[in-house]
Amino acid sequence: MSIIQNLPYEWLVGLRYTRAGKRSSRNSFISFISLISVSGIALGVAALIVVLSVMNGFQKEVTDRMLSVLAHIEVFDARGSMPDWRQEAQAAFRNPAVRGAAPFVETQGLLVRDDTMKPAVIRGILPSEEHKVSSVAKQVRQGSIESLQPGRFNIVIGYQLARLLGVGIGDKVNMLLAQGQMTPAGMVPRSRVFTVSGIFEAGHYEFDSAFAFIDIEDAQRMMRQDAPSGLRLRIADMNAAPQVAQELKRSMPGDLNMRDWSKLNANWFAAVQTEKRMMFIILTLIVAVAAFNLVSTLVMTVTDKQADIAILRTLGASPGSIMKVFMIQGALVGIMGTIAGVLLGVIVALNIDVIVPFLERLLHVQFMSKDIYAISEIPSDLRWPDVAKIGVVSILMAFVATIYPSRAAARVKPAEALRYE
């Protein structure tokens, strides 16, 4: 209490105006409007935090599923092949960020079954090394990745690709590659019959419908290569992939090209970032509407308190002090609404895995169908920098909303205000 009493009078008056008035119905109505403003800001801030957390959760979920198939960094030799890939892997491991390395061969092809033809990314892998750079082995639902043996011409394909081709374990598919050979009849694409020995499900439609894995030696035979195309690397922190790729380019011998996972999906990440920015702007408008409700609240307060303003002026208060009183009142309303919204938004974002199932049971609906979205739970990834940014924007909007009413209060003339009192 002593701390409050020692505050400057501008703060004391501003705090008094913020509290609910009991002397008249007019004061109570103004305080009710202030409560609505606080609630509006709180709901807007909470909605913004929850929506951005859910969008971050979806982005993280999709990224994790992408990187279960993709490597963090791909290294290519400018000559087109990497015969000494083990030495290159040892050179890569000198960078402390590198955790795993595996050779690969990759090309585009067509898989044909009866009258059905589907394009696919054909990747030749070394099964004994693949687990170091991807999670494909854990995602095989039927068969196994170990079935890929040199000379057996087995193939592991995505769940959706198997469904589109109408094949299962043990069925045959014909693989056609664009690299062809010249015959008397003209250019004929290379082809080979493969046996489906595994079906994987990464949970990402793009990969499940367009990826196939074969043994690396079989891939080299199909592409007429004597060595792998390059190395796939996994690092400790996937977000550091661009930086690590640049470090490896400088430290590894030879003329090498580096490609990190963010470049492989640049369009998708650009679209997600654009969507997040637009969603932030749209939801910020909700906070802006609530914040600018303070204008009407403060204008009503200024009109109601003209006599008090006149008395303060006659006691020596400057126009700047009067402005400060009402700016403090509006800022306090904004701060209270922001704090309440941050608390509510953080609680909901951290417990969305409990709240959403409860609402689904209560309303007898399912927000996320696994058949459509490949996931049945709404993910959430709360990021404190986002929370801080939202809080700062909300408080700034509330502060800006106080400027006009505060200047109007400073322009009140004591003689005119007291004439009818």
Of the ranges 42-56, 102-116, 133-147, 277-291, which one carries the lowest mean pLDDT score?
A: 277-291
pLDDT score for 368 = 67
Confidence of residue 26 (pLDDT cuts 50, 70, 90): low
Residue type, 100: G
Of the ranges 78-92, 296-310, 320-334, which one carries the lowest mean pLDDT score?
A: 296-310
**Which of 277, 281, 257 lies closest to 269, judged by CA?**
277
What digits encode the pLDDT tens for the residues 155-195?
999 999 999 999 999 999 999 887 766 555 556 678 889 99
Residues 6+ apart with CB under 8 A from 363: none
Quick one: CA torsion of 226, 229, 231, 237, rounded to 10 degrees? -170
Residue 285 half-sphere exposure toward CB, CA atoms < 13 A: 5
Residue type, 97: A
What digits encode the pLDDT tens for the residues 302-331?
776 667 767 776 776 777 777 777 787 778
pTM, entire model: 0.72
Confidence of residue 3 (pLDDT cuts 50, 70, 90): very low
Joined tokens for residue 134: 């991807």
Residues 6+ apart with CB under 8 A from 402: 294, 298, 326, 327, 329, 330, 331
**Percentage, residues of the chain above pLDDT 90:** 21
- Higher-confidence residue of 282 and 29: namely 282
Strand 73-77 and strand 211-215: the pairing is unpaired
pLDDT score for 95 = 92
Q: Is residue 374 over pLDDT 60?
A: no
Please give the average per-residue pLDDT across 268-290, as a whole number. Answer: 80
Q: Is residue 4 over pLDDT 50?
A: no
**Percentage, residues of the chain above pLDDT 70:** 83
**Which of 342, 252, 329 lies closest to 294, judged by CA?**
329
What digits encode the pLDDT tens for the residues 109-143?
899 998 889 999 999 999 989 889 988 888 899 99
Residue 164 half-sphere exposure toward CB, CA atoms < 13 A: 18
